[in-house]
Amino acid sequence: MSATTEETRGPLARATTVTMLLVIAGSASGFARDLLVAGVFGASAGTDAFMVAWTIPETAAPLLIEGALSFLLIPYFSRSVEEGRSLREVVWAAMPKAVLAFVLLSAATAAAAPLVARGLAPGIQEHDLATRCTQITSLTVLGFGLAGFCSAALRTRRIFGPPAAIYLAYNAAIVGAIAIGHDGWGITAVACGVAAGGLLMALIQAPSFIRHIGTPVRTGLATSISWTVFAPIAAFTLLRQAQVFVERFVASSLPAGSISYLNYAQKIAQVPMVASLILATVSFPVLARSIAAGDGAAAGRQVLADTWVAAAIVLPATAFLVAHAPGVVGLLLEHGAFTPDDTAATAWSMRLYCLGLLGQAVVGVLCRVYFCASRPSWYPAAAMTAGLALTAVAAPFLAGPLGVGGVALANAAGISLTAALLLSGLGAPLLVLPKRALLVSLGRLSAAAVVAAGVSFLVRPVTADLSLIVAVPCEAAVTLAVFVTAALLTGSRRDLGDALRPREGGVRL
């Protein structure tokens, strides 16, 4: 093992640990937020109106924080460092145009709020409330943009703590706004908290940004980044987010509360998906530098490891949530205004939505590769278009017999198709990816998940008489134990060794 590999391995392992802890804390605060919203406001026409407005930050987050902007800036900053340029000068040269764009987009979103609310949910009952909340949440475009820009610069510098802590600040602002204003402002208080939280995301990164990137510098350096290369990345991100638009469009014509059921189901189910992408998030600057240096073999090994780890996290979670959805939703949400009927509808939606979690994770890992080239590919946007088309066709068709669960199932089908297309299109010249080995590994893990889900369904009668606070952890432990056993029996121990083994030119934990 080379000294270089050891030097890279240690910081990456520490960064992954710190990021995981902060993501867990952020997810926990997100649960507290969702519990509070469900308990105080339940699932009604008013919460549906807010969920329409929440589409703005839900779209801005993948576009400006977790996805498109980072896919553009981290490779650009990494290439600049590889070329010997100062990261400080490059970052501050790009800042003015970025800030101007964020301000203009935020203002345009606020101005278009009535059209946005009507277009996203034409059948919604509380259109005026949805418009008002949308105008407030439009401020997140500015806040998320600033937060995403700072995050990309810090991650390029291998600083991961402050970027991973932003959702703690975001959720704290929302919880605080609900506590202060729910009596006087109603659901609008949540929208105000969302707007304030977006700005707080940027503010908490500012000290670290100044310390590690540097204070503003005027160098006259021309920004060599062409914002036209942002187009394929933004198109992919918006098309992916458009699945939510389709869901809410179709669900707005279903009984009141349907949009809220989908939202609550997705919020719970996406926790393991987000956790599964931690390694891919931390290793992204390393991947970008490998591709910039033309080391396709190292890049391929990193993508293989990232995908395997993501699947190994998300598949047992899928098995558990499919088998025990009612208990999980009941434990987390059935308080205050959230009724048993709300629990049943949310659990039904979550079971079907979870069938697409592996696809979500695979898309999250593989799309990064396409965007590491000097000119990002349009192929991910095309693959996402195919997935979105399937969702759009299937959602209204399945909503008839399956209700709100049919919309969730259509989402799962669409994202799974996109994952398959992204995998089929990946390869040289960006990297050398052993697709057959990857598919075999994913097949072993998927088989283990099916076994775990089957056993979990069988043990449900055993835990039926226990309180949920006891039953749900016991059921989770059983599901995980069965999954690990089945995975080892199918040969996944060798895959684990390959994923974690350090190699020259690559990065492993």
Task: Give the model's confidence band at 388: pLDDT under 50 very low, under 70 low, under 90 confident, else very high.
Answer: very high
User: Alpha carbon of 27 to those of 336, 386, 420: distances in Å?
Assistant: 21, 31, 28
Is it the case that residue 507 has pLDDT exceeding 50? no
Could you give the percent of the chain with pLDDT greater than 90? 42
Cβ neighbors of 236 (< 8 A, separation 6 or more) are: 68, 367, 380, 381, 384
Task: Grade residue 124 by pLDDT with cuts at 50, 70 and 90.
Answer: confident
Structure tokens at 181: 């204003």
Give the containing element (helix H, strand E) for 251.
helix 230-251
DSSP per residue over 184-217, as a string? HHTTHHHHHHHHHHHHHHHHHHHHHHHHHT-S--
Residue 505 has pLDDT above 50, yes or no: no
Q: Mean per-residue pLDDT for 152-180? A: 89
Q: What pLDDT score was predicted for residue 470? A: 93
Nearest to 337 by CA among 33, 31, 34, 42: 42
Tell me which range, 30-34, 252-256, 362-366, is most confidently predicted by mean pLDDT. 362-366
Residue matched to tokens 């979690």: 357
The 10s digit of each residue's pLDDT in 17-57 is 776 777 777 777 877 887 788 788 887 888 888 888 988 99
Q: What is the pLDDT of residue 119?
A: 87
* Six-digit token string for 375: 């000119």
Summarised one tens digit per residue, pLDDT across range 435-444 is 888 898 999 9
Amino acid 224: pLDDT: 60
Give pLDDT, residue 428. Answer: 64
Cβ burial 394-427 (10 Å sphere, 16+ → b, else e): bbeebbeebbbbbbbbbbbbbbbbbbbbbbeebe
Q: What is the pLDDT of residue 410?
A: 96
Check whether 154 has a pLDDT greater than 80. yes
Query: Could you give the percent of the chain with pLDDT greater than 70?
Result: 90
Give the C-alpha separation, 162 to 189, whole Å: 26
Span 108-126, average pLDDT: 88
DSSP, collapsed to helix, strand or coil, labels residue 176 as helix
Residue 8, pLDDT above cutoff 80: no
Q: What is the pLDDT of residue 196?
A: 95
pLDDT the model gives residue 15: 64
Angle at Cα 237 formed by Cα 250 and Cα 508, nearest 5°?
A: 125
Euclidean distance between CA atoms 507 and 501, whole angstroms: 8
Q: Where are the beta strands (DSSP E) in 75-117?
A: none
Residue 326 has a pLDDT of: 94
From 216-230, 374-388, 421-435, the region with the lowest mean pLDDT = 216-230
Per-residue pLDDT for 420 more than 90?
yes
Q: Do 399 and 406 contact (CB within 8 A), yes or no?
A: yes
CA distance linking residue 95 with residue 216, whole number of Å: 10
Neighbours of 120 (CB within 10 A): 22
CA-based nearest residue to 408, from 324, 319, 320, 348: 348
3-state DSSP assignment of residue 277: coil
Question: Between the CA of residue 129 and those of 105, 116, 117, 191, what are the distances in Å?
Answer: 22, 13, 9, 11
Model confidence pLDDT, tens digit, residues 271-296: 888 888 877 777 777 787 777 777 77
Task: Using pLDDT thresholds of 50, 70 and 90, give the confidence band for residue 497.
Answer: low
CB atoms within 10 A of CB 326: 19
**What pLDDT shows up at residue 503?**
44
Say how far apart CA 356 and CA 409 lie, in whole Å: 8
Res 95 pLDDT > 70: yes
* Beta-carbon contacts of residue 69 (< 8 Å; ≥ 6 apart): 63, 145, 148, 149, 152, 230
Q: Cβ(301)–Cβ(271) under 8 Å?
A: no
pLDDT at 60 over 80: yes
- The DSSP annotation for 420-443 comes to HHHHHH--TTT----HHHHHHHHH
Q: Specify burial of residue 352 (Cβ count, 10 A radius: 0-12, 13-18, 19+).
A: buried
Q: What is the pLDDT of residue 429?
A: 63
Per-residue pLDDT reduced to its tens digit, 184-226:
888 899 999 999 999 999 999 999 999 999 888 776 665 666 6
* pLDDT winner (highest mean) among 117-126, 273-282, 447-456: 447-456
Enter the tokens of residue 412.
């799962």
Contact 47/37 with Cβ under 8 angstroms?
A: yes
- In whole angstroms, what is the distance from residue 181 CA to residue 95 CA? 35
